[in-house]
Amino acid sequence: MSNVLFELRRIDFAYDDTRPVLRGLDFTLRRGERVALTGPNGCGKSTLLHIMTGLLKPSSGTLVAFGRTRREEKDFHEVRRRTGLLFQDVDDQLFCPTVIEDVAFGPLNLGLDRHAAVRRARAVLGTLGLDDFEDRITFRLSEGEKRLVALAGVLAMEPEVILLDEPMAGLDETAARRVEEIILTLPQTLVIIAHDTDFLARLTRRTLRLHAGRLREAPPDPFPSHASPADAPGGVQSIRTSQERSKPCTKP
């Protein structure tokens, strides 16, 4: 079996025809890779992840996922089972009253019975250190807790690929560190949208930059201070570059 999981070729996408978001985008994702996706706000990073899982359909281009060309809604059912997506806005993702129900929602959709789904949800909550969260009300969790519960909901589906859309945005230092530690231990193939270059350097060597509707390989960091993803995150204070965020998106 080929180790290419996703292969996107010449993808065009626009929410409205006058303003294209993606223009002739190419992207290849191989098994075991951890890819960082960067680029100024509004450049279409989230859009790309939604296209990969078929939540948005490109106007042209081809998308091959797990060895098959995916075009219609029904082609994507399998893709979504095997690909977890953590949404940028957690509030979009959590909709059940209690944590346990929300985490069990995915497994139920995979066809597990309630008993098995709840068992699996409990196990995932356990590995994330959220054992006593089961009956908490999702709506009233803190931002950091919400993010962890949403991540648990994704992990409970046991995906092969995980797409993380700004998993640390909007979290305070402690919460961000906790999410970061968890992400560093994930064994899956990852695509992660993030702005924190220190964290990305620890996580991955491949960084792609989305610019003017296309992806470009960003030059590798000349001084990889934390080269291996297996490195434990050692108390490095991450300095968030606000520069990257505020840079305006150059629109064609």
Q: Does 207 bind ligand ADP (CB under 6 A)?
A: no
**Count of C-beta atoms within a 10 Å radius of residue 7:** 17
Nearer to ligand ADP, 51 or 179 (CB): 51
Contact segment (CB under 6 A) with ligand ADP among 36-44, 110-118, 151-159, 177-185 equals 36-44
Q: How far is the CB of 68 from ligand ADP (least distance, A)?
A: 25
What is the Cα–Cα distance from 64 to 47, expressed in whole angstroms?
17
- CA distance to 23, 77, 168, 175, 193, per residue, from 171 (Å): 32, 32, 6, 6, 15
CA distance 184 to 228: 10
Residues within window 80-109 making contact with other proteins, judged by CB under 8 A:
80-81, 85, 87, 89, 91-98, 101, 105-106, 108-109
Contact residue for ligand ADP among 6, 11, 47, 103 (CB under 6 A): 47
Residue 85 site contact among ligand ADP, Mg ion, other proteins, none (CB < 5 to 8 Å, cut-off depends on kind): other proteins
Considering only residues 39 through 78, tell me which ones interact with Mg ion, judged by CB under 5 A. Answer: 46
**The pairing of beta strand 68-69 with beta strand 60-65:** antiparallel
Lookup: tokens for 118: 């709840």
Task: Rule CB under 6 A: say whether 188 interacts with ligand ADP.
Answer: no
When CB distances are held under 5 to 8 angstroms depending on the partner's kind, the choice from Mg ion, ligand ADP, other proteins, none that residue 44 binds is ligand ADP
Q: Is 38 in the site for Mg ion (CB under 5 A)?
A: no
Q: How far is CA 146 from CA 13, 56, 66, 172, 185, in A?
A: 30, 25, 30, 13, 19
The yes or no reply on residue 194 touching ligand ADP (CB under 6 A) is no
| Residue 56 or 108 with smaller CB distance to ligand ADP | 56
CA distance 161 to 34: 10
State the binding partner of 108 from ligand ADP, Mg ion, other proteins, none, CB within 5 to 8 A by kind: other proteins
List, in sequence order, the alpha helices (H) in 83-136.
Answer: 90-93, 99-109, 114-127
Q: What is the DSSP letter of 103?
A: H
Distance of CA 187 to the CA centre of its chain: 14
Q: What sign does the CA torsion over 195, 203, 33, 191 have?
A: negative
Q: Is 44 a residue that touches ligand ADP (CB under 6 A)?
A: yes
Residue 195 contacts ligand ADP per CB under 6 A: no
Q: Which residues bind other proteins (CB under 8 A)?
A: 16, 50, 53, 55, 77, 80-81, 85, 87, 89, 91-98, 101, 105-106, 108-110, 137, 139-140, 153-154, 157
